[in-house]
Chains A and B, each alone.
Chain A
Amino acid sequence: MSKLNSKIPDGPLADKWTKHKAALKLVNPANKSKLDIIVIGTGLGGSSSASSLGELGYNVKVFSYQDSPRRAHSVAAQGGINAAKNYKNDNDSVYRLFYDMIKGGDFRAREANVYRAAEVSNLVIDHYTALGVPFARDYGGTIDNRSFGGVQVSRTFYAKGQTGQQCLVGAYSALTRQIKAGTVTMYPLRELMDIVVVDGKARGIITRNMLTGEVERHSAHAVVLATGGYGTIYYLSTLALNSNASAAWKAHRKGALFANPSFVQIHPTSIPVLNSYQSKLTLMSESLRNDGRVWVPKQQKDPRKPNDIPEEERDYYLERRYPAFGNLVPRDVASRAAKERCDAGFGVGSTGLSVYLDFRDAIKKKGKKAIENSYGNLFDMYEKISGESPYETPMRIYPAGHYTMGGLWVDYNLMTTVPGLYAVGESNFSDHGANRLGASSLMQCSGDGYFILPYTITDYLADDIRTPRIQTNLPEFEKAEKEAKDRINKLLSINGKETATSFHKRLGKIMWDYCGMVRNEEGLKKALVLIKELEDEFWKNLKVTGTNEELNQELEKAGRVADFFELGKLLCLDALNRKESCGAHFREESQTDTGEAKRNDDHYSYVAAWEYKGEGQEPELHKEELRFEFVKLQERSYK
């Protein structure tokens, strides 16, 4: 029997979730407090899961490596959160939101999951509003919406450029209320070391207390991962520096299949690398491409300042290559085109890895004031980082790793292939296919945590009401704790010369060069060799200062980088296996005559779910065929 039973209910698309919910089992209130649930992560997915499960009366324990739940990386989402409210009367609907997502994902997501995400989106907005999230409003007091990411309707709810921050503070406040009520216990500053599986079910975790180094055992009837994405595998990305893949990777090693790992979104408009010490790439909203023109000099390595280069010596390459869409081509196309120019030696800036985004013509046409009204805060942010004013000199931008559509494989109940182990939000793979549309990540992780997981996990726990509190002296806990300690000791005892950060940078470069925006067979095979070599070097030459029994940031980094090597190999394997281009995954071998992505529905209309087979073993590929009953597959076209 296949390992992959998606448990998608039969019936018409619009009835699936309703029908499924009606069949889910319940747990009576008196029994809920006897059931323990562990939630890892306090971003929107984790906070929403933990608070809503606490509200239901479960005994919840929530873990985070942050000192406070409010610092989780959902805080940095800028643009907005989608919902199918149709407040603008522009004929939006649940179906339309579903369709935009399934098409935007290049037909590599499940219809039923995507439809449900759209269906619960309205409840999410209602809840955040009730929690006091200050969404932008119109003069009559109703909530305002804007359009986003090339969609034809205005369905994006926003709080200036801080939508993620405001939603997270709202979700954090709800979580805080449950902590005070005693239904949720918060364990801050904990690093997840392992998932404990007892008799085939997830029954607990091993953590490291980041203040004392103590390795701890925590048990529960079920475990929920809300641990975000793995974009920091590229070292430089738009993500927070502490974001990492370790929790998901530990789950993978304990039997959870990892789906579509190579589906990574590269965002085209980030502030580029300015020096070799750079640690972070800050996103500039893609709305800037509405007025900015992207160009590079026609002359390679042109030493002149941008304003000294005359019009006829500038190559507006997006307008040249895509006359119909010009600067407004989709994210993946804009990213690849920038890379192509820079690789060919036309890039600008001291590193040669950036292109100009020029507002000169827009300022001339609309006036400085109008541009300031639209983009003032972004221009200020850019100036703070780069020291240059975009009013005077063109911005320099370059693509950066941003969001990972891939993640732990989950069924319709959001359960991984390990019974009792759930994954929500970015840490699962389920809703965005091969490419995520803007403003749909906040929507998905909140919907998962508030309105899906509480129902589906209850169904699972209904069979556990007679299971007493799980004891942490079971041999499985003992073994997992010992392995965690052994690994810490191993990292500390190498005593080599190179820091974890240095290895991370080198791994990031391999990933970026061979498994970034553009991939091909030769490069991916080379990357697999290079990663292996680097990994071997890491285990021989890593230097970690200090000891385990203290706050030790070098040790934390080392553990995360070690997991990135293993995940990096899986990314390359997955990209190698998928010999088609779809969404953000672009295989050079699979493109049209004009260099556009060419999907291969006959052979690759499936979710690639990888099973861990042990240290040094090839992972096994399982395929979940995607069935499209309600939409017709078509080419994503923008010409």
Chain B
Amino acid sequence: MNIKLKIWRQPNAKSKGRFETYPLNDVSSDMSFLEMLDYLNNNLIKDGKEPVAFEHDCREGICGSCGMYISGRPHGPQHKTTTCELHMREFKDGDTITVEPWRAASFPVIKDLIVDRSAFDKIMQAGGFITINAGAAQDANAILVPKKNADEAFDSATCIGCGACVAACKNTSAMLFIAAKVTHLALFPQGKIEAEQRVKSMVAKMDELGFGGCTNTRACEAECPKGISISNIAKLNREFFVAKLKE
């Protein structure tokens, strides 16, 4: 098929970006979206032009690198699918596809489609862990965890840290990202001990880093490639208010 790509080009953080249009012919419907970009880049290099910079690594939907806005949606039109899992058969011959980086003040553009997501690491450093040193753990079965809790914790823990929730949110809120971590750890007796401090620290860090608040538009849930439920945010709110009330 033949398509037209409108891609955000920005040489570095300091310069202004703009859209460039690239017609691309003979695209196979079997190509993944990223392979289509590889193909474009190969053509660009042959023509002596700068290839489009984009992040990617595992190409099987698990490392969380390949965030980009595709035709107005984070990770493109297919539900619960990362950009690398998206295939060109989701598009039609003659389509114009717009490709942009995540748009959020807390994720500044580094180059073309690559943004700086180190804010997520900083939020994690604020409390996204259980305090225990190697060697201090008791036998893994010494603390029983109800299967229901373990399964729910798993669902929250499937977050891949891609940032689609922030990019999808009109407030650029990181609430779903934090809520998934807070919920995951609070569901375990091991993580419950620090739960109050954790939720307060992580929310405070989120605010400090310029992410917005949650106004329940549910865009994050709709666009999360791992289908993490907005009910995590309700749990986060409860954890947060309980912790604040105890102050």
Query: Which residues of A are in contact with B by a Cβ distance under 8 Å?
Result: 48, 51-52, 55, 66-71, 73, 75-76, 85, 87, 123, 125-132, 134-143, 159-160, 162, 165-166, 169, 172-174, 176-177, 179-180, 186, 188, 211, 240-242, 274-275, 277-280, 282-283, 381, 384-387, 450-451, 454, 499, 501-502, 543, 545-546, 550-551, 553-554
Contacts and interface: CB of A to CB of B under 8 A. Distances in A.
A241 B141 contact: no
A73 B57 contact: yes
Nearest to B81: A384
A574 to B, nearest CB: 28
Contacts of B214: none
Contacts of B126: 180
Given A132-B191, A141-B146, A159-B154, A501 B38 contact: yes
A289 to B, nearest CB: 20
B136 A71 contact: no
A179 B126 CA distance: 10
A550 B154 contact: no
Contacts of A169: 157
A5 B18 CA distance: 60
B161 interface: yes
Interface in B132-165: 132-141, 143-147, 150-151, 153-154, 157-158, 160-161
A180 B111 CA distance: 28
A126 B137 contact: yes
Interface string B6-47: 000001100000000000000011111011101100100100
B73 interface: no
B208 interface: no
B237 interface: no
Contacts of B81: 384
Given A385-B85, A451-B135, A454-B134, A277 B125 contact: no
Given A55-B134, A132-B185, A134-B153, A277 B50 contact: no
Contacts of B85: 381, 384-385
A527 B180 CA distance: 50
Contact of B114 (A73, A136, A179, A551): A551
A23 to B, nearest CB: 19
Given A173-B130, A275-B28, A551-B111, A385 B87 contact: yes
B210 interface: no
A616 to B, nearest CB: 30
A129 B130 contact: no
Contact of A75 (B62, B150, B153): B62
Contact of B154 (A160, A176, A277): A160
Given A73-B57, A169-B157, A241-B59, A127 B42 contact: no
A70 B53 contact: no
Contacts of A451: 134-135
Given A279-B59, A451-B135, A125 B147 contact: no
Contacts, number: 211
A464 B63 CA distance: 38
Contact of A134 (B110, B118, B150): B150
A76 B58 contact: yes
Given A67-B55, A137-B145, A278 B117 contact: no
A22 to B, nearest CB: 16
B213 interface: no
Contacts of B140: 85, 125-126, 128-130, 135, 143
Contacts of B138: 126, 130
B170 to A, nearest CB: 25
A71 to B, nearest CB: 5
Interface hub of B64, B118, B140, B143 (most chain A Cβ within 10 A): B140
26 contacts: A55-B134, A68-B117, A70-B161, A75-B62, A76-B63, A125-B140, A127-B132, A130-B136, A131-B132, A135-B140, A137-B146, A141-B144, A141-B145, A162-B158, A177-B129, A188-B118, A278-B35, A280-B59, A283-B60, A386-B30, A450-B134, A450-B135, A499-B45, A545-B49, A546-B50, A550-B11
Contacts of A274: 30
Contact of A554 (B51, B78, B146): B51
Contacts of B91: none
A120 to B, nearest CB: 11
Contacts of A52: 133-134
A51 B55 CA distance: 26
Nearest 8 A/B pairs, CB to CB: A141-B144, A130-B137, A173-B129, A129-B140, A126-B137, A280-B59, A134-B154, A52-B134
Interface in B182-225: 184-185, 188, 190-191
A126 B139 contact: yes
B124 interface: yes
Contacts of B157: 132, 134, 159, 166, 169
B87 A135 contact: no
B22 to A, nearest CB: 16
Contacts of B28: 275, 277
Per DSSP, chain B at the interface is loop
B141 A87 contact: yes
A588 B187 CA distance: 54
Given A279-B35, A384-B87, A165 B62 contact: yes
Contacts of B151: 134, 137
B51 A48 contact: no
Contacts of B147: 137-139, 141
Given A176-B128, A277-B28, A76 B141 contact: no
B118 A280 contact: no
Interface hub of B12, B35, B134, B144 (most chain A Cβ within 10 A): B134
B121 A176 contact: yes
B65 interface: yes
Contacts of A241: 56-59
Contacts of B132: 127, 130-131, 174
A169 B55 CA distance: 20
Contacts of A85: 140-141
B27 to A, nearest CB: 9
B240 interface: no
Contact of A551 (B31, B48, B53): B53
A280 B60 contact: yes
Nearest to A70: B161
Given A280-B32, A280-B58, 6 more contacts: A67-B117, A68-B121, A85-B140, A126-B137, A134-B184, A211-B110
B145 A127 contact: no
B235 interface: no
Contacts of A141: 144-147
A189 to B, nearest CB: 9
Nearest to A500: B45
Contacts of A385: 32, 85, 87
Contact of B51 (A70, A159, A502, A553): A553
B116 interface: yes
Interface in B83-120: 85, 87, 89, 110-111, 114, 116-118, 120
Given A134-B157, A240-B59, A176 B129 contact: yes
A86 B157 CA distance: 27
A127 B137 contact: yes
B15 to A, nearest CB: 11
Contacts of A131: 129-130, 132, 190
A231 B78 CA distance: 31
Contact of A387 (B30, B110, B124, B154): B30
A176 B125 contact: yes
Nearest to A283: B60
B51 A545 contact: yes
A240 B57 contact: yes
A90 to B, nearest CB: 15
Contacts of B50: 545-546
B3 to A, nearest CB: 14
Contacts of A499: 42, 45
